[in-house]
Amino acid sequence: MAMTETRPDAAPERAAARDRPVDEPVAAGGLAGILGTGRHAAIGRLWIGTSLVFLVLTGALGGVLGAERLKPDTYNVLNQDNYAQALSLHGVGGLFLFAIPILIGLGTIVVPRQVGADSIAFPRAAAASFWTYLVGGGMVVVSYLINGGPFGGNEKGVDLFLASLGMVVVALVLASVCLATTVLGLRTTGMSLARVPLFAWSVLTAATIWIASLGLLFGLLVLLYVDHRYRLFAFGASTDIDRWLRWTMTPPQVFAYAIPVLGFAGDVVPVFGRTRARRHGLALAAIGAFAGLSFGAWTYLGQSDNPRLYQQFLFVASAIAIVLPVLLFLAFFAETLIHGRPSLGSPLLFASAAMVMVLAGVLTGAIRAVHSLALIDTTADASISHYVLGAVAIAAVGGIHYWWPQVLTRPLKEGLGRLTAVLLLVGVLALALPDLISGLLDERRGSLGAVRDGVEALNAVSFVGGLLVALAALIFIVNLAASLAARSDGDAADPWDGQTLEWTADPVAVTVASATPVLDAKEAAEGGAA
């Protein structure tokens, strides 16, 4: 045999092994495969699955709290202490264990494909962030179970809460760094920031705001931990921890968790309007402005050291100004639909419902900022939180429906999806709106007691709204389970005639020279065929 002759293959497997680069690891299967995965889609699914588990937990707790408020003058199921603890876990769990993580999960799956990257930036850091979140989130729940957390009586349990919430915050910041870096650093050739799909853009802006604001929160948690660990209580005992966390759950910061909702709606509307996205630049600007105005870390001393903050011009002006980008975005949303031929797919219903929630949330936030109404620290705060959480939940469920080829690889039932969207819309409105009216009737948040006439009835409406949300969640879980039990369709399909890169078979191979490259490709192909 001459030296230049190619050696015959002994077996195809050996040939494949030989062709594989030396440093490419062999993918593990089973549990080792899950624990060691660095694939963005797998990590994203882990984020989504875990955050849904935490949603069920915090949602059930919300149900108990709602039932307790049916007779607001006395404590029935809970007592004063564990009512406050349950309310605290409901808030912390809803925002830090559900809302941000589920959006991170969706972003981790979709964003790399949307920008034409073959993976998320720092895949091992992305995986590490998920496992840190899982352990930290679990310990947050455990800390409440052992009578720790805010309002807890077990000092070590309070220490555990502060440490584990710090872990969760670090995990969320790390995941945000991975996502933001993916959009900024791994975009495919020709995809300038002006051409980035709206969801990817919203994830970039959201991640930036989350990194900054959660970074500040981490500093505070370290301080509170040291304070509490050495039993000095210079910054308050366990009953005061809630004051230090309030800024993360109230306007303007609470709106930062809803930034990707706008991106989801922006990506869905041209697809289901069956037209091109009109005024892409306007939508980018609206999302950017919404993100900028939702940065609320500067209000972190409002509940502790600077109560006059709520009367200051900057606070009031920013609370009102944030309505403008939402209205601008809705104009983009409506104009795209008006100029198209809309089809009422479930993702469009979810997107519309989520935008209603965002609008209701910012309007309530603007009303809350009017000092003479004295709405701060009333149930109006809960109303806004519920609008935001509702918007995130609706967008996340809508995102799973819309991006099922990437998220599930199996379709969800459209009819059940539409029913879920309508139930969530009605349920969240019924859940949140009465709390604003109760707030106007001076019902304080955080404790029960004598209330004015009408508040009891409003609480009942709110409870029914919660039941509708629970019913919607149940339908979604059934739909999800049926989908997961079905046979996989194999390769990612394009069931909606999508317009962004994630709908191409190989986004990495695409060089972008347009704001709507996938649609261009389809039009070019149709034109060529004609």
For the bound state, the minimum distance from the C-beta of residue 210 to other proteins, rounded and expressed in Å, comes to 9
Helix, coil or strand: residue 72: coil
Q: Look up tokens 């009367």; give the residue.
A: 311
For the bound state, the minimum distance from the C-beta of residue 201 to other proteins, rounded and expressed in Å, comes to 16
For the bound state, the minimum distance from the C-beta of residue 518 to other proteins, rounded and expressed in Å, comes to 8
Query: What's the distance, Cα to Cα, between the start and end of the chain in Å?
Result: 55
Residue type (1 letter), 433: L
- In the complex with other proteins, which residue's Cβ is closer, 132 or 516? 516
- In the complex with other proteins, which residue's Cβ is closer, 325 or 507? 507
- In the complex with other proteins, which residue's Cβ is closer, 275 or 346? 275
Positions that interact with other proteins (CB under 8 A): 121-122, 125, 173-174, 176-178, 180-181, 184-186, 189-192, 195, 207-208, 211-220, 222-223, 226-227, 230, 232, 234, 297, 300-301, 305-306, 504, 509-517, 520-521, 524
Instruction: Give the sign of the dihedral formed by CA 204, CA 206, CA 208, CA 214.
Output: negative
- In the complex with other proteins, which residue's Cβ is closer, 183 or 357? 183
What is the token pair recorded at 403?
A: 């991006």
Task: State the Cα–Cα distance between residues 142 and 48, nearest whole angstrom.
Answer: 21
- Cis upstream peptide for 252 (omega within 30°): yes
- In the complex with other proteins, which residue's Cβ is closer, 66 or 266? 266
- In the complex with other proteins, which residue's Cβ is closer, 34 or 513? 513
Measured N-to-C along each axis, helices 346-368 and 379-402 cross at an angle, to the nearest 10 degrees, of 160
For the bound state, the minimum distance from the C-beta of residue 521 to other proteins, rounded and expressed in Å, comes to 5
Helix, coil or strand: residue 378: strand
What is the token pair recorded at 201?
A: 């853009």
For the bound state, the minimum distance from the C-beta of residue 73 to other proteins, rounded and expressed in Å, comes to 38
Residue type (1 letter), 117: A
Task: State the Cα–Cα distance between residues 29 and 42, nearest whole angstrom.
Answer: 12
350 Cβ partners below 8 Å, 6+ apart? 268, 394, 395, 397, 398, 399, 401, 402, 417, 421, 424
- In the complex with other proteins, which residue's Cβ is closer, 176 or 364? 176
- In the complex with other proteins, which residue's Cβ is closer, 40 or 195? 195
For the bound state, the minimum distance from the C-beta of residue 186 to other proteins, rounded and expressed in Å, comes to 7
For the bound state, the minimum distance from the C-beta of residue 202 to other proteins, rounded and expressed in Å, comes to 16
What is the token pair recorded at 366?
A: 């603007």
- In the complex with other proteins, which residue's Cβ is closer, 243 or 444? 243
For the bound state, the minimum distance from the C-beta of residue 1 to other proteins, rounded and expressed in Å, comes to 35
For the bound state, the minimum distance from the C-beta of residue 135 to other proteins, rounded and expressed in Å, comes to 20
- In the complex with other proteins, which residue's Cβ is closer, 448 or 519? 519
Task: State the Cα–Cα distance between residues 258 and 251, nearest whole angstrom.
Answer: 12
The strand pairing partners of 444, in sequence order, are: 378
- In the complex with other proteins, which residue's Cβ is closer, 14 or 339? 339
Residue type (1 letter), 24: E
Give CA separation, 247 vs 24, 177, 219, in Å: 46, 22, 14
The strand pairing partners of 142, in sequence order, are: none
For the bound state, the minimum distance from the C-beta of residue 514 to other proteins, rounded and expressed in Å, comes to 3
The string of DSSP codes covering 246-257 is GGGTSTTGGGGG
473-477 LR contacts (CB < 8 Å, sep 24+): 473/55, 473/56, 473/59, 475/416, 475/419, 475/420, 475/423, 476/397, 476/416, 476/420
For the bound state, the minimum distance from the C-beta of residue 335 to other proteins, rounded and expressed in Å, comes to 16
What is the token pair recorded at 521?
A: 């490709």
Measured N-to-C along each axis, helices 323-338 and 280-294 cross at an angle, to the nearest 10 degrees, of 160
Task: State the Cα–Cα distance between residues 41 and 407, nearest whole angstrom.
Answer: 7
For the bound state, the minimum distance from the C-beta of residue 512 to other proteins, rounded and expressed in Å, comes to 7
Helix, coil or strand: residue 444: strand
- In the complex with other proteins, which residue's Cβ is closer, 286 or 512? 512
Could you tell me if 172 and 104 are in contact, meaning their C-beta atoms sit under 8 angstroms apart?
A: yes
